[in-house]
Amino acid sequence: QERLQESGPRLVNPSETLSLNCGVSGYPISSSHFWGWIRQPPGKGLEWIATISQNGATHDNPSLKSRVTMSVDTTTHQFSLSLKSVTAADTAVYYCARPVCIAGRCFFDLWGQGILVTVSS
Amino acid sequence: YELTQPPSVSIFPGQTARITCSADGLPMENAFWYQQKPGQAPVLIIFKDNERPSGIPERFSGAGSGTTVTLTITGAEAEDEADYYCQSGDASGSFYVFGSGTKLTV
């Protein structure tokens, strides 16, 4: 069964870097053209963070002002997210997801269960 | 680029729910829909025009016209009570945007 699982620290200090991993199981990580991250602040809507393609190119939400880095590790079947210089506004449930593009239409067909990350000292 | 949805929609069981998603007056060439129940991750329910992933009931359908797309739940059931989000993006997978979300009460 295809599954994504987020992992990482659940509490991050302000101004530091938030780092999360997403473990991929039941599906070859190199078979997907893209991998991505989405977040949801408590009580609010979904926000796309970033997507990484097979060639390593990363595309991120302009609202995050280039604070995002993503990478894929095919040996450990994981991909990761780093968000630097965090503030309380970055407190959210972070989801990893698999984007799929069909005939120029791209959507997320597989999601992790999500991990709540709180930014606080 | 923003996608606007009504904050809430309320219906009785068996009725038809329609949730709209509008793209600030710009044509929406593609749109997808997700269902999110409390404490759970979103689930894709409509993709690629009006197709449903395996396991999604036929009562869910999608349609689009110009600048607005609509999710229709025909004969809604109590289990359909959830938040619903539309999503769009560019054709190359380098940009995605979600709608503001609609809370459906059945």
Predicted confidence (pLDDT) per residue in A23-76, tens digit? 999 988 888 889 999 999 999 999 999 999 888 899 999 999 899 999 999 999
Please give the pLDDT value at position A54.
82
Q: Does A36 touch chain B (CB under 8 A)?
A: yes
> For the ranges A62-71, B70-79, B85-94, which has the lowest average pLDDT?
B85-94
Q: Which of B67, B85, B101, B99 is nearest to B2 (CA)?
A: B99
Summarize the confidence of residues A78-92 as an average pLDDT: 97
Q: Does A54 touch chain B (CB under 8 A)?
A: no
The answer to whether B96 touches B40, Cβ cutoff 8 Å, is: no
Using a pLDDT cut of 70, give the percent of chain B over it: 94
Nearest by CB to residue A102, choosing from B48, B87, B99, is B48
- Read off the pLDDT of residues B10-64 as tens digits, 9 standing for 90 and up: 999 999 999 999 987 666 767 899 999 999 999 999 887 688 999 999 999 998 8
For residue B47, the chain A residue with the least C-alpha distance is A107
Q: Using the predicted structure, report yes or no on whether residue B71 has a pLDDT greater than 90.
A: yes
Q: Does A59 touch chain B (CB under 8 A)?
A: yes
Contacts of A38 in chain B (CB under 8 A): 98
Using a pLDDT cut of 90, give the percent of chain B over it: 70
Contacts of B97 in chain A (CB under 8 A): 48
Q: Which of B48, B60, B56, B98 is nearest to A100 (CA)?
A: B48
